[in-house]
């Protein structure tokens, strides 16, 4: 089986939602594209208030979940939040992890250090700030 992901948006309030990302057989370079137009969310501007990632099956000692965006046409990706932690951890974003996108798309990678484990990642996001 190859890398696969599922994105589930859960609305908490008019401008708050949770993005739940389920990944199977995740390698260091595998990426989940979160297209706001496809999942029905406005991802143009907002902030991440919490990032949670838990490893399922597989053998990774650490992982470095990262969320990125592109601010302008033809621009480089900008890191919104990233941490390197043990595979079963909750990361509270320190300060304000604001993001802007020109295309309503965010990019997530779990980046395990070894193997192809499964991950469940949750981002708490407030939009329009």
pLDDT over 70 at 90, yes or no:
no
Whole-prediction pTM: 0.87
* Mean residue pLDDT across the chain: 85
The domain at 4-127 falls in which architecture? Sandwich (2.60)
Query: Do 113 and 61 form a contact (C-beta atoms < 8 A)?
Result: yes
Closest CA to 125 of 86, 77, 69, 73: 69
Question: Residues 14-68: pLDDT tens digits?
Answer: 889 999 999 999 988 899 999 999 999 889 999 998 888 888 887 777 788 888 8
Question: Residues 101-122: pLDDT tens digits?
Answer: 989 999 999 888 888 888 888 8
pLDDT band at 5 (very low <50, low <70, confident <90, very high): very high
Residue spans of the domains in the chain: they are 4-127
């Amino acid at each position: 089986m190859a890398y696969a992901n599922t994105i589930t948006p859960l609305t908490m309030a008019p401008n708050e939602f949770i993005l739940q990302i389920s990944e199977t057989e995740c390698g260091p370079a595998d990426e989940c594209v979160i297209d706001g137009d496809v999942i029905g969310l406005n991802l143009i501007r907002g902030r991440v208030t919490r990032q949670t990632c838990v490893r399922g099956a597989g053998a990774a000692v650490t992982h470095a979940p990262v969320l990125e965006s592109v601010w302008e046409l033809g621009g480089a990706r900008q890191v919104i939040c990233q941490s390197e932690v043990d595979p079963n951890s909750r990361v509270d974003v320190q300060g304000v992890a604001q993001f802007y996108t020109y295309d309503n798309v965010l990019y997530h990678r779990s980046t395990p250090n070894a193997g192809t484990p499964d991950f469940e990642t949750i981002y708490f996001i407030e939009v329009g700030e």
